[in-house]
């Protein structure tokens, strides 16, 4: 049987031929690719010549390409378009990849060659990027067990295999629990308070399941407006607890998985000579140590908590003044916050949605990116998609040279995990003088069109789209020789800078005028609404900051911990770890850790603080744009040439200084947030 995953893609731009790839192709293709990858490594080891940068480090950079390509396609599908068969294959495929990775990293002969090059690095005349690749390659081995005894290497292999399986199971349980819940309503009175758009969306969901009435599910476009607008408090409570208790009950309970993951991560760290998992992770981050992260988070907590408590008291007083409950619960948060915003600013978030038709926002993102970075976007229909909802684009420079292929997948469905993320199917690199351009994708879960309206985004969804597109620009505009240093292959507390800084354009009239037009009348968003966006941008900022710090401190509590084997109950541990950041009463039926995919399924363990860390950088960076003009070509070029195009080819602190001329200061963030 010919396997398309093992063939050279005879497709436009070498894009993935999704239409001819079947589930049964993945496992045999990966096994064959692993054989090829191992043979490539053997050739490097058996080379009789003295180890050099070219015949060892650079040669390793080009080995295992087929393994990377196949696994990238597979795990992207497992996130965006999964099914029972793909999840079953993942359970077989993941351990094979873990074993393959460890076979390379724990190969003593290969490490001898890498180590030889590293020890003689000054004799090879390496440039900055080559030196960066050498450092990354050496640490990839030395930090991950290359120096261990054979017995300890076996222990490491067992731990890594277990962790890969547990992470998969964690994600499958969260997705299953998200898909399993539905609130089926047949009495129109239960929809009181909901805007018509939310009612229409609930009807579409019910119709898709061949049911009468309306269905609220746990996808963000459904659950968020229900908790924000539904007047029936008991139903809000039910939906809120359903969302907050995903994977915290029954046979899909992730509690034991969480405990096992943190124990294994701690064992792994100790085996490798580190005090905690956080120490291991943060050694290769801008923050460098758990102490730095803890100081950073607690300093922000000290500044944000008084503001948050003041906001919470004001919200409680307001709720009581309009016959609300004596004591606010978590299911009251969005509801009364939205009412207070309306009272204080004469502003309803729903007023914005008609100005943010999805297609217009996409065009706006393209126009803004074009003005800043001299690129053009053209929707094309001649490349394969993995789902009919996916949109595909060709990105070119002003001379029509290919910059990137871009995939965009916007709407929720059962086979897709929640949230929003950027990924790629092919990273940028330069091989034999040819600059191979990347294939980048963003995946979101936005409000779907209804029978009467197109997809109209909330302002939060608009900022999410800009955020993920900022990541996409980091991938698209890369100009780095080596794939492992290109695009978003940077320190995780730096990777959020391009995404978060791009959100800032959503708040600026000069940018909004380009795309925020009423979907019926074509009228540009009025000045008074833009003013309301700005006025409300810091509304409840103390409470919002506290929420982010809650997640960051919870992440560190799990991973900067030498006594993970003593933790017995996930819910109780979470309560103790986050009580200083909690304003609403504790509810023992809910738990965020068991659905905290960022740290237990994604790559953010010991790294959730990165969002706040990068906010410092983004506030400081955008202040620079504001000083010169948000479309100032000089500043945009500095950002493109020193941040977006450089990937991880230099240390991020050095790249930032080259862009800004100085280090970032936390004051820019505190000032923007209204906390000073």
Q: Give the residue numbers marked as catalytic.
A: 468
121-130 — which CB contacts under 8 Å span 24+ positions? 124/52, 124/53, 126/53, 128/649, 128/650, 129/480, 129/481, 129/482, 129/485, 129/649, 129/650, 130/53
Q: Which two tokens stand for residue 366?
A: 């393209």
Q: Which two tokens stand for residue 168?
A: 């998969």
Q: Which of 424, 419, 508, 500 is nearest to 461 (CA)?
A: 419
Q: Which residues have a Cβ under 8 Å from the Cβ of 270 and sit 6 or more positions away?
A: none
In angstroms, the CA 208 to CA 178 distance is 17
Structure tokens at 497: 């800078």
- Sheet strands (E) in 36-141: none
| Segments in 477-588 forming alpha helices (H) | 496-503, 509-512, 527-536, 541-559, 570-578
Helices 84-105, 65-80: axis angle to 10 degrees equals 150
Alpha carbon dihedral 571, 576, 580, 581, in 10-degree steps, equals -20
CA distance 412 to 391: 14
Q: Which two tokens stand for residue 336?
A: 């009364």
* Whole-number Å distance between alpha carbons of 370 and 376: 6
In angstroms, rounded to a whole number, what is the distance separating the alpha carbons of residues 313 and 637?
Answer: 46
Task: Give the gyration radius of the chain's Cα atoms.
Answer: 25
Count the neighbouring beta carbons within 10 Å of the beta carbon of residue 54: 12
If 0-12 CB within 10 Å is exposed, 13-18 middle and 19+ buried, where does residue 483 land?
A: buried
């Amino acid at each position: 049987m010919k396997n398309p995953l093992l063939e050279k893609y005879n497709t436009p731009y070498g894009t993935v031929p999704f239409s001819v790839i079947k589930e049964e192709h993945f496992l045999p293709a990966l096994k064959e690719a692993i054989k090829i990858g191992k043979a490539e490594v053997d050739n490097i080891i058996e080379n009789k010549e003295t180890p050099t940068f070219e015949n060892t480090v650079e040669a390793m950079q080009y080995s295992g390409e087929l393994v990377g390509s196949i696994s990238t396609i597979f795990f992207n599908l497992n996130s965006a378009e999964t099914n029972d068969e793909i999840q079953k294959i993942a359970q077989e495929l993941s351990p094979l990849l873990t074993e393959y990775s460890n076979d390379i990293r724990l190969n003593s002969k290969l490490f001898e060659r890498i180590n030889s090059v590293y020890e003689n690095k000054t004799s090879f005349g390496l440039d900055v990027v080559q030196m960066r690749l050498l450092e990354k390659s050496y640490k990839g081995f030395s930090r991950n067990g290359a120096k261990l005894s054979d017995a300890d290497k076996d222990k490491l292999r067992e731990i890594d295999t277990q962790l890969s399986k547990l992470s998969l199971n964690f994600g499958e349980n969260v997705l299953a629990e998200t898909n399993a819940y539905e609130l089926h309503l047949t009495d129109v009175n239960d929809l009181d308070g909901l805007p018509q758009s939310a009612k229409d969306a609930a009807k579409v969901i019910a119709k898709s399941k061949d049911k009468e009435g309306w269905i609220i599910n746990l996808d963000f476009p459904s659950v968020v407006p229900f908790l924000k607008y539904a007047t029936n408090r008991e139903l809000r409570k039910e939906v809120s607890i359903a969302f907050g208790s995903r994977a915290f009950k029954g046979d899909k309970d992730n509690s034991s998985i969480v405990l096992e993951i943190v124990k294994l991560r701690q064992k792994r760290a100790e085996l490798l000579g580190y005090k905690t998992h956080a120490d291991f992770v943060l050694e290769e981050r801008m923050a460098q140590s758990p102490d730095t992260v803890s100081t950073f988070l607690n300093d922000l907590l000290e500044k944000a908590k008084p503001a948050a408590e003041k906001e919470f008291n004001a919200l409680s007083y307001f709720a009581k003044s309009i016959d609300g409950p004596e004591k606010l619960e978590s299911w009251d948060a969005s509801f009364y916050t939205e009412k207070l915003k309306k009272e204080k600013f004469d502003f309803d978030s729903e007023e914005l949605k008609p100005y943010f038709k999805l297609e217009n926002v996409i065009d706006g993102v393209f126009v803004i990116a074009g003005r800043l970075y001299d690129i053009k976007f053209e929707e094309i229909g001649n490349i394969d998609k993995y789902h009919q909802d996916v949109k595909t684009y060709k990105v070119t420079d002003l001379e029509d040279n290919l910059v990137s292929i871009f995939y965009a997948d916007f709407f929720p469905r059962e086979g897709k995990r929640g949230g929003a993320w950027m990924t790629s199917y092919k990273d940028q690199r330069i091989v034999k003088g040819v600059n191979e351009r990347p294939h980048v994708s963003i995946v979101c879960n936005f409000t779907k069109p209804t029978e009467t309206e197109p997809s109209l985004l909330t302002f939060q969804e608009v900022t999410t789209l800009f955020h993920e597109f900022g990541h996409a620009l980091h991938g698209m505009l890369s100009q780095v020789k080596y794939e492992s240093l290109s695009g978003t292959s940077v320190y995780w507390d730096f990777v959020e800078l391009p995404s978060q800084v791009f959100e800032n354009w959503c708040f600026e009239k000069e940018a909004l005028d380009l795309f925020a037009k009423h979907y019926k009348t074509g009228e540009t968003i009025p000045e008074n609404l833009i003013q309301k966006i700005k006025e409300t941008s810091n509304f409840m900022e103390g409470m919002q900051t506290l929420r982010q710090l809650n997640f960051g401190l919870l992440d560190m509590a799990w991973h900067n911990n030498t006594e993970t084997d003593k933790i017995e109950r996930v819910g109780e541990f979470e309560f103790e770890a986050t009580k200083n950041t909690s304003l609403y009463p504790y509810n023992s039926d809910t738990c965020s850790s068991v659905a905290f995919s960022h740290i237990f399924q994604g790559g953010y363990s010991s790294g959730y603080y990165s969002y706040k860390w990068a906010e410092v950088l983004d506030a400081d960076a955008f202040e620079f744009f504001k000083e010169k003009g948000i479309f100032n070509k000089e500043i945009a070029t500095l950002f493109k040439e020193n941040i977006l195009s450089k990937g991880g080819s230099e240390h991020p602190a050095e790249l930032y200084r080259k862009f800004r001329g100085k280090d970032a200061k936390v004051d820019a963030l505190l000032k923007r947030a209204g906390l000073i």
